Amino acid sequence: MSVVVTDTGFTNDDWPEGAVDLPGDTAPEAVEGVIEGASHIRVLIPAFSDGRGFTLAKQLRRRGFSGRLRAAGPLIADQYAMARRSGFDEIEIPTALAERQPEGDWLARADWRTAHYQRRLQG
Q: What is the pLDDT of residues 46-55, one digit of tens each?
A: 999 999 999 9
Instruction: Look at the chain and report how many structural domains it folds into.
Output: 1
Which residues form the domain of 56?
1-8+19-29+37-99
Q: Is residue 59 part of a domain?
A: yes
Q: Say if residue 112's pLDDT is above 90.
A: no
Tell me the longest C-alpha to C-alpha distance in the chain.
44
Amino acid at 23: P
Q: Is residue 67 part of a domain?
A: yes
Percent of the chain with pLDDT over 90: 76
Q: Is residue 105 part of a domain?
A: no
Q: Is residue 123 part of a domain?
A: no
* 81 beta partners: none
Strands 40-44 and 90-94: unpaired
Regarding pTM above 0.85, the answer is: yes
Q: Say if residue 115's pLDDT is above 60.
A: no
Q: Is residue 118 part of a domain?
A: no
pLDDT tens digits for 65-96? 999 999 999 999 999 999 999 999 999 999 99
Q: Is residue 120 part of a domain?
A: no
Q: Is residue 116 part of a domain?
A: no
pLDDT category of residue 111 using cuts at 50, 70 and 90 = confident
Q: Name the nearest CA neighbour of 74 among 57, 91, 89.
A: 91
Q: Is residue 64 part of a domain?
A: yes
Q: What is the pLDDT of residue 42?
A: 97
Instruction: Give the range among 5-9, 28-32, 87-91, 114-118 with minimum mean pLDDT.
Output: 114-118
Q: Average pLDDT of the chain?
A: 91
